[in-house]
Amino acid sequence: MPVLTLLTDPARADLPADAAARLPTAWGAGEPRWLSPGTAVQVPLAGTVRTEEQAELRELWSRRGVDAVVQPRVLRRRVLVADMDSTMVQQECIDELAAHAGVGEQVSAITAAAMNGELDFAAALRARVALLAGLPTSVVDTVLAERITLTPGARELVATMRAHGARTALVSGGFVPFTAAVAARVGFDEHRANVLLEQDGAFTGTVQEPVVGREAKVAALEEITAALGLTPRDAMAVGDGANDLDMLRRAGTGVALHAKPVVADQCDVRVDHGDLTALLYLQGYAEEEFVGR
């Protein structure tokens, strides 16, 4: 039986109490289950919802600041593989480094094009890293302390899934010093990212090969699930950029979170308004089950 989840930003919590009653009668909406009053509700559907109807429903509710997601069924996933930049944290770490190097605008433009799928990710990464040559490595600690903030719901998502036996991994096209710090802050089991090469306390402007990009994210998803005797269909993945797209397609639940248009348009599960706790609601967790608050 398909299930519709309606959810909004917990900071607003303005989802109407009669939200389930507003669905087409042909869908055979069952008894709603409120996962969090004003924030998330799940509704079982007896009827079939065609793809074009789902798109219309998503657009209709999106105008009200609500995400509408139809899933064949609700499953609690046993693995979480998450992107970092603009997903688990609210910034692009390389852009913050570039600002300190005085090349912020140049790097930000390349980042935006790469995340929109307009440039090859690996080539774009090398080009951006080259602009960091000579930057003191100590700047990483400054950026982490002063600029990098967690996305709301990050700790709750990871802590709740881990409390229920899931393996959690932060897999980024960014850099190890950042993933190490963010993984520790949030509580991930493991992290993978690119290595910025350095010499005499400064970055050389090069990255260790091979680059962790689109293919590496899929490989990480496959390796982590296989090590647990699972498949990618047992996993949830979340990301926002073009280099996340293959990973999102391979996972059992691939969530495009506040994603770039090229990504959002190709993903069935989109969260445009909620925060990272949306990934828990989509698995059927109620707010009182959240861990880490």
The first and second tokens of residue 73, run together, are: 């069924």
For the chain, the helix, strand and coil percentages under 3-state DSSP, each to the nearest 5: 40, 25, 40
Task: Please report, in tens digits, the pLDDT of each residue of the chain (293 residues total).
Answer: 899 999 999 999 999 998 888 787 778 889 999 999 999 999 999 877 888 888 898 999 999 999 999 999 999 999 999 999 999 999 999 999 999 899 999 999 999 998 988 989 999 999 999 999 999 999 999 999 999 999 999 999 999 999 999 999 999 999 999 999 999 999 999 999 999 999 999 999 999 999 999 999 999 999 999 999 999 999 999 999 999 999 999 999 999 999 999 999 999 999 999 999 999 999 999 999 999 87
Contacts of 183 (CB under 8 A, 6+ apart): 170, 190, 191
In this predicted structure, what is the pLDDT of residue 161?
Answer: 98
In this predicted structure, what is the pLDDT of residue 21?
Answer: 81
In this predicted structure, what is the pLDDT of residue 144?
Answer: 97
Question: Can you tell me the distance from the alpha carbon of 84 to that of 174, in angstroms, rounded to the nearest whole number?
Answer: 8
Per-residue HEC secondary structure of 176-210 comes to HHHHHHHHHHHCCCEEEEECEEEECCEEEEEECCC
Tell me the residue length of the chain.
293
Question: Can you tell me the distance from the alpha carbon of 71 to that of 3, in angstroms, rounded to the nearest whole number?
Answer: 5
User: Computed from CA positions of residues 134, 138, 142, 147, in that sequence, does the dihedral angle turn out positive or negative?
Assistant: positive
Please state the pTM of the whole predicted model.
Answer: 0.96
Where in the sequence numbering do the catalytic residues fall?
Answer: 83, 85
Tell me, what amino acid is at 154? A
In this predicted structure, what is the pLDDT of residue 23?
Answer: 82
Q: Are 216 and 224 in contact (CB under 8 A)?
A: no
Query: 8 phi and psi, to 5 degrees?
Result: -140, 180
Q: Are 206 and 130 in contact (CB under 8 A)?
A: yes
